[in-house]
Amino acid sequence: MPDTRPKLTASPRNLDALIVGAGFSGLYQLHCLRERLGLAVQVLEAATGVGGTWYWNRYPGARCDSESHSYNYTFSRELLNEWEWSERYPEQAEILRYLNFVADRLDLRRDIFFNTRVAAANYDEGANQWRVSTADGREFRATYLITAVGCLSTTNIPDIPGLKSFAGDCHHTGNWPHAGVDFSGKRVGMLGTGSTGIQAAPVIAQGAAHLTVFQRTPNYSIPAHNAPLTPEFKRWVRENQDEIRAVMHSTPNGHPFRISSRRALATSAPERQAIYEAAWAKGGLQFRATFHDLLVDKAANDTAAEFIRARIREVVKAPRTAAALSDIDHPFATKRPPIDSGYFETFNRDNVTLVNLRDEPLECILPEGIRTRAGTYALDTLVLATGFDAMTGPLLGLNLTGRGGLTLARAWREGPRTYLGLQVEGFPNLFTVTGPGSPSVLVNMPVAIEQHVEWITDCIAHLRRSSIRSIEPDPQAVQQWVEKVNDAANATLLPQAGHSWYLGTNVPGKPRVFMPYAGGMARYRGICAEVAGRGYEGFHLTPDPADAHKGGQLRQA
Ligand code: NA7
């Protein structure tokens, strides 16, 4: 790629744009603002390297649930041609290698401050600047502040009595030691059976003397059937990049497979069974794509749910364990559906025990282990696969203060309120990549990220071209978008999970709001394009004072 880099025009601490986070979002945002717009831009990153969620989540079995050929940037032909994935589902270390490859290839590191955690960010209205202070006492100033902090980066450590008293090692999966954890000869206890616990259990069981999985809520899981990619498949990917991208851009979830137009209940029972069996044999998230109505019709969903429950009962030999694992009471895919590599089979091992916390609730953690109502389980190592304060947690953790001293915590005290998941009223020139109210976690993330980054880049280009000082959403547009997000969720079964991190119910005291936009990525992309096409409809654009005579404040509602 030719080096078309502009020279920095501002001091590193008085920038055009500041990006928080050097994961998938931050890296691409840096590239776009620096190379396409020629801005003075820096990234602040708390970690010592790039990677974001893939830097921190190094737990055993950590792997992406999107198929590798769809889990990369698609904006650059060179990047696509120069990288080759090795497995159907890339493991954490390979994704981290990929993001390091991108950072090197695009020469991004020179504009990233590592080991730099944002402590607070305040909007200075007079200067029209964001003032960002870091935990080590530095200050940066920038016209535009872009959060690229990911949706699942604030760990959720449960408030269990005695947790701190545990005498052995205790690790949250989202903050895993870089040196790894040696489980050999250890009695390991794991809390949590979401996507993470389901990935980790089979690998921990192989290395530990004993693994006890403490299950509060049973979960569906579809076999991943991970495998090395064949030379033929790799060639097919290389030769069909445009088609693969076109499919990812046309589907509601950004994955490279289409959702069938068949309806489960309009299909005969034997045919339906055959379709589920074929999807089970193929594995992966596309199990959800077998029928069009699985996420909108409870009776249709029941057919998939019952198929999976029956598979669990077939696989797991001990009847009590099989019953505890298959007694799933939320509709299929209303929580993030995990895919696994031998999760249910793991419970057939002699060194694995399932503790059903519905039968014997967890009482406390002791120095020597976990006590439930039925007794104490002695443990040497505790693994917390207990998830994240999703979507809002990473943003609230930045301690943002907008116009007039309004904090984000106050603005969102009843739940996140955004326009398109991209901007927050009262926080001019702040952009939130994959923010709440955007499809984000319901979508293959790189697809959602590329769309957001490109939209933000085009928006900033427009602001600068048109001498606009600041952009901020109108209250009415925010209200209408919040209603749209609610309506989109309510048109599906997603809220029927009752309890999920999509709804924020996994964190005590968090407002119960369905946070991502469930209307589908393709539709959302169209909405964002229309908004921009109509001169940023629903945003309030304030011209530079020098241009104020040209018409004062522009309201694009
Ligand atoms: P999840 O999906 O939020 O799962 C967390 C798990 O931890 C879930 O099974 C919880 O049970 C369990 N949990 C949480 N707190 C406790 C306590 N106090 N006691 C017992 N069990 C507890 O997080 P993951 O990391 O698995 O996945 C997050 C996303 O990352 C994933 O969906 C992918 O998108 C990537 P609960 O269901 O709350 O009863």
Which atom of ligand 1 is closest in space to residue 387's alpha carbon? 23
Q: CA distances (Å), 515 to each of 252, 422, 438, 494, 550, in order?
A: 17, 13, 8, 11, 39
Q: How many whole angstroms separate alpha carbon 290 and alpha carbon 259? A: 7
pLDDT in tens, 184-221: 999 999 999 999 999 999 999 999 999 999 999 999 99
pLDDT tier at 555, thresholds 50, 70, 90: very low
Residue that is written with structure tokens 């203060």 in the block = 401
Which atom of ligand 1 is closest in space to residue 216's alpha carbon? 39
Closest CA to 361 of 522, 528, 202, 216: 216
Percent of the chain at pLDDT > 70 equals: 96
Q: How many whole angstroms separate alpha carbon 378 and alpha carbon 368? A: 6
With H, G, I as helix, E, B as strand and everything else as coil, classify residue 403. Answer: helix
Beta strand 139-147 with 129-134 is antiparallel
Q: What is the mean pLDDT of residues 340-347?
A: 98
Q: How many whole angstroms separate alpha carbon 544 and alpha carbon 464? A: 10
pLDDT in tens, 484-502: 999 999 999 999 998 999 9
Q: pLDDT value at position 12?
A: 60
Which atom of ligand 1 is closest in space to residue 159's alpha carbon? 18
Q: pLDDT value at position 552?
A: 41
Q: Cβ < 6 Å from ligand 1: which residues?
A: 152, 158, 160, 191-197, 214, 216-217, 336, 357, 362, 385-388, 441, 501, 506
Residues 6+ apart with CB under 8 A from 147: 19, 20, 21, 394, 395, 398, 430, 431, 432, 433, 435
Q: pLDDT value at position 553?
A: 44
Beta strand 339-340 with 222-223 is parallel
Beta strand 362-366 with 369-372 is antiparallel
Q: How many whole angstroms separate alpha carbon 117 and alpha carbon 387? A: 21
Q: pLDDT value at position 103?
A: 98
With H, G, I as helix, E, B as strand and everything else as coil, classify residue 2. Answer: coil
Residue 385 Cα to ligand 1 midpoint, Å, equals 6
Q: CA distances (Å), 334 to each of 49, 151, 327, 392, 514, in order?
A: 34, 18, 16, 19, 11
Q: Retrieve residue 514's tokens.
A: 């369905």
CA 113-76-227 angle, 5° bins: 90
Which atom of ligand 1 is closest in space to residue 441's alpha carbon? 34
Element (H, E) at 371: strand 369-372
Q: How many whole angstroms separate alpha carbon 543 and alpha carbon 557? A: 16
Residue that is written with structure tokens 């990525």 in the block = 521
With H, G, I as helix, E, B as strand and everything else as coil, classify residue 142. Answer: strand
Indicate left, alpha or beta for 176 from its phi (over 0: left) and psi (-120 to 50: alpha): beta
pTM of the entire predicted model:
0.95
Residue 508 Cα to ligand 1 midpoint, Å, equals 13
The residue whose CA has the least distance to atom 4 of ligand 1 is 194
The residue whose CA has the least distance to atom 31 of ligand 1 is 195
Residue that is written with structure tokens 């993030």 in the block = 336
> In 35-159, which residue ranges form alpha helices assigned H by DSSP?
53-56, 77-82, 92-105
DSSP state of 36: I
- Where does 444-538 show beta strands of DSSP type E? 468-473
CA 52-54-57 angle, 5° bins: 110
Which atom of ligand 1 is closest in space to residue 217's alpha carbon? 39
Which atom of ligand 1 is closest in space to residue 357's alpha carbon? 20
Residue 127 Cα to ligand 1 midpoint, Å, equals 43
pLDDT in tens, 112-135: 999 999 999 999 999 999 999 999
Q: Retrieve residue 524's tokens.
A: 């959302």
pLDDT tier at 9, thresholds 50, 70, 90: very low
Q: How many whole angstroms separate alpha carbon 434 and alpha carbon 25? A: 8
- The 554-555 sheet, strands edge to edge: 468-473, 539-543, 554-555
pLDDT of 3 over the 90 cut = no
With H, G, I as helix, E, B as strand and everything else as coil, classify residue 436. Answer: strand
**Site to substitute for ligand 1 among 157, 386, 503, most atoms within 8 A of C-beta:** 386
Residue 199 Cα to ligand 1 midpoint, Å, equals 12
Q: pLDDT value at position 2?
A: 41
> In 90-240, which residue ranges form alpha helices assigned H by DSSP?
92-105, 195-207, 231-239
Element (H, E) at 172: strand 169-172
Domains of the chain: 13-154+390-556 (3.50.50.60), 163-231+253-384 (3.50.50.60)
pLDDT in tens, 16-46: 999 999 999 999 999 999 999 999 999 999 9
Residue 197 Cα to ligand 1 midpoint, Å, equals 8
Closest CA to 221 of 257, 189, 195: 195
Element (H, E) at 326: helix 319-326
The residue whose CA has the least distance to atom 18 of ligand 1 is 158
> In 83-169, which residue ranges form alpha helices assigned H by DSSP?
92-105
pLDDT of 416 over the 90 cut = yes
pLDDT in tens, 65-83: 999 999 999 999 999 999 9
Q: pLDDT value at position 400?
A: 98
Residue 236 Cα to ligand 1 midpoint, Å, equals 37
**Site to substitute for ligand 1 among 166, 216, 391, most atoms within 8 A of C-beta:** 216
Element (H, E) at 129: strand 129-134
Residue 232 Cα to ligand 1 midpoint, Å, equals 37
